[in-house]
Structure 1
């Protein structure tokens, strides 16, 4: 029975994570840190913003460049969004943001390419920013609404982009169970701690799922080969 369980889990693991694992492993073995230059740049930028915003002279400039709040005009939020993704949230440990960027952005950059990673990350982030304004308009009595106090919540950091990218990569590599578990965890987050960040994560997931549906219907046929390195990229190992 134990051998059967081990074998069954092994088949599941190869099916669920095998292509993704070998894609990431082969890229890192072959190119090492050169496989994720955009991700390394994002980690460095996030670190610089963290250092600067914790100085007496740097806090306000960082806020002016990358702080997004629902009370701000939408055009201003759009201008600040590109940098807001790399401004760590003030109430969370910076190592969490750095780890999220390094892990999820790195995997995404290898698997789908740097520009797709940025596009999907920004789509997810903008979905959260847009939802904040819709939620405030709906009001606290609506199931999807937000309290007025969320108007001044500092809405920065990579978490919405990370969640959106994780869902997209799971869909791209057919790791459906992993993607479904991630969605359930985000739903559980909202049920346990009903705050702006949790609901923005769900908005990011919804936006990325729309992208997946559009690509499935009108895009090229999906495979489990990496998109990031062009036609010369070797295929992933067989399952």
Structure 2
């Protein structure tokens, strides 16, 4: 709360500073998301709802008799699989929850982060980031197995048979891209620091894949920021030039 000073002014208290910092960090994000949800409600996040329902569906199916085999054949990726099979399964592998983690955690993460990303980034860019960053982690696992355990970024051969599924890589990647778009740099930096710290303290396949997904997300976010409006402007210029040329040719034909 605010306090009066001896000079008659008002000195801000810790709560006021915290409120100001939160507004500066999340004000834009909150305003954009609130506006869309107020106007459209759940119609603003159809992809996030679909992704959440798919995770719930796969979680139920893989615990039914014969369901685990079905889910494995359509959505489970391992580094030991042929590359073409991995590429075909990767899109669905986002929605196959890990067996050793509570499914409610994946459901909450996906609904929240995918929903915010769908509103802030747009559906097309959200899908691109989620798929590309997940694929980057999947390919890194294959690369690490090929390098072998003697290399800094290598893995032992048994890692090739580890089930590599779940939306976590896409979630952290989308969180960073949303933070970058809304200029919530402290939030994005915190996500990156936590993921890198996890990979250092508890080195495993998932942790390193998260770091690779984050690097991919940063590259995408920077590219969109720098070149996002470049090609639309080029195409608009080409269209305007073609229109002017057509008008000039039509005027010349009439003059003749």
Q: TM-score, normalised by structure 2?
A: 0.82
Count of matched residue pairs: 221
Q: Distance in 2 between matches of 1:12 and 1:74?
A: 47
Picking from 29, 43, 46, the partner of 1:37 is 46
Indicate the structure (1 or 2) with the bigger Cα radius of gyration. 2
What does 1:161-176 correspond to in 2, within 5 Å?
161-176=170-185
* Alignment pair present for 1:100 and 2:109: yes
Q: Distance in 2 between matches of 1:13 and 1:175?
A: 10
Deviation of residue 113 (structure 1)?
A: 1.6
Aligned to 1:61: 70
Picking from 51, 70, 80, the partner of 1:71 is 80
Deviation of residue 69 (structure 1)?
A: 0.2
Higher helix content, 1 or 2: 2
Give the CA RMSD over aligned residues.
1.5
Q: Distance in 2 between matches of 1:218 and 1:42?
A: 29
Q: TM-score, normalised by structure 1?
A: 0.88
Structure 1 residue ranges without an equivalent (≥5): 222-239
Deviation of residue 187 (structure 1)?
A: 0.8
Aligned to 2:162: 153
Aligned to 1:136: 145
Secondary structure of the 2:207 match is helix
* Alignment pair present for 1:178 and 2:187: yes
Secondary structure of the 1:87 match is coil
Picking from 90, 113, 121, the partner of 1:112 is 121
Deviation of residue 108 (structure 1)?
A: 0.5
Deviation of residue 24 (structure 1)?
A: 1.2
More displaced 10-residue stretch of structure 1: 164-173 or 19-28: 19-28
Deviation of residue 28 (structure 1)?
A: 1.6
Tell me: higher relative CO, structure 1 or 2? Use CA pairs within 8 A at least 6 residues apart: 1
Q: Distance in 2 between matches of 1:74 and 1:89?
A: 21
Deviation of residue 12 (structure 1)?
A: 1.8
* Alignment pair present for 1:80 and 2:86: no
Q: Distance in 1 between matches of 2:182 and 2:114?
A: 15
* Alignment pair present for 1:8 and 2:11: no
Secondary structure of the 1:90 match is coil
Q: Distance in 2 between matches of 1:81 and 1:137?
A: 19
* Alignment pair present for 1:23 and 2:32: yes
